Amino acid sequence: MSVVEFREVIKRFGKVEALRGASFTIPEKTVTAFLGPNGAGKTTSMKLIMGFLKPSKGEVLVWGEEPWRNEGVRNRIGYLPEKPVYPADIVVEDFLSYLARLRRVGRLDVERVIRLVGLEGVADRRVGTLSRGYLQRVGIAQSLLGDPELLILDEPTANLDPAARREILDLLKVLHKDLKVSMIISSHIIPELQEVANYAVFIDKGLVLDYGYLSDLWKRYEIEAVFNIEAVDAGAVARILVEKHYVRSVKRVGERVLEVSIDPGYYKAFEGALTELSHLVKSYSFKTTSLGDLYEKVVRSRL
Ligand SMILES: Nc1ncnc2c1ncn2[C@@H]1O[C@H](COP(=O)(O)OP(=O)(O)OP(=O)(O)O)[C@@H](O)[C@H]1O
Ligand SMILES: [Mg+2]
């Protein structure tokens, strides 16, 4: 069964049509990127999934149920709002304990989420004294209370500096790996979503332009991923990489630098191969942000 299904969903706020007949499905065990410009309808879609809003027309189904009719659905979802507001004077741990009581979640769960998101060092600090990065961890911690089956994170890296952004992204990767929880993450920063997502829903002006597994979308829109690799022995690395079935080409662009093009669905396999070659590879980086290319192509194909 799919986790989320939108059937021709229309959502109006007075005269504004935030969603204009949006349809998509999200399968189990995915990390889904909600991608779209400001005002596309990402936050509205998330609130519909939470059951905070009711569709004006069409159907929103979460685990086959309509969330606005069925509060039980909401209890299985963790939510990080777009603009969370935290009380400044309360100590981090007390704040989480308070939320745990409200949601009838055991005290032990507070310790668990504090550990999970790395808040141990600041658990006794007042919320108002935390940096933005740590505040965002508090937000993610509260979303994890009660061990939800689905996490909805509305722009979890917005307003963070590059280092904090990096930390939150790494945290999300670890959470997905350790908790195996499905996630929906919105952002308009495409390259960073590429690292965590394996599924995408492209939203623009209240319409869903396309959606699906990234591995399918890469193929459908014929996108390739190009990496730059700095190697100790470029020749040796090149000889090994050309043998991989997902490697399309290996070019030597400097004495120690290779440009490698791979089928984009094989990002993880490629990373694994580079890890095995860590004695030969000094560093590697994305040359193209292929999710960006994909986004361009999806949008262009609908014009
Ligand atoms: N409560 C509301 N009342 C009136 N209009 C609203 C309301 N909520 C959202 N809208 C409008 O609906 C449209 C979609 O908004 P939404 O917040 O879902 O976009 P978004 O994709 O999350 O954008 P952003 O990237 O800026 O967060 C916008 O035009 C917005 O102004
Ligand atoms: Mg939004």
State which ligand 1 atom lies nearest to the alpha carbon of 11.
Answer: 12
The pair of structure tokens assigned to 253 is: 């662009």
- What pLDDT, on the 0 to 100 scale, is given for residue 290? 65
Question: Mean per-residue pLDDT for 171-189?
Answer: 89
Domains of the chain: residue spans and CATH? 4-213 (3.40.50.300), 225-287 (3.30.70)
Tens digit of each residue's pLDDT (9 = 90 or more) over 152-167 = 999 998 888 888 888 8
Confidence at residue 13, expressed as pLDDT on a 0 to 100 scale: 97
**Angle in degrees, CA 16, 78, 204, rounded to 5:** 30
* Concatenated DSSP letters of 162-224: HHHHHHHHHHHHHHHHHH--EEEEEES-HHHHHHH-SEEEEEETTEEEEEEEHHHHHHHTT--
Sorting pLDDT into bands at 50, 70 and 90, what band is 47?
very high
For residue 38, how far is its CA from the centre of ligand 2 (angstroms)? 7
pLDDT of residue 16: 96
**Under DSSP, is residue 262 helix (H, G, I), strand (E, B) or coil?**
strand
pLDDT at 294: 80
Q: Whole-number mean pLDDT of the chain?
A: 91
Atom of ligand 1 nearest to the CA of 41: 18
> Per the structure block, which two tokens stand in for 7?
């059937």
Average pLDDT over residues 275-285: 90
Tell me what the mean pLDDT of segment 141-147 comes to. 94
Report helix, strand or coil for 12: strand
Segment 57-88, tens digit of pLDDT: 999 999 999 999 998 999 999 999 998 889 99
CA of 118 to the centre of ligand 2 (A): 26
> What are the pocket residues of ligand 1 if the criterion is a CB atom closer than 6 Å to any ligand atom?
13, 16, 18, 36, 38-44, 82, 188
pLDDT tens per residue, range 109-135: 999 999 999 999 999 999 999 998 999
CA–centroid distance, residue 13 to ligand 1 (Å): 9
pLDDT at 273 over 80: yes
Across 177-184, average pLDDT: 91
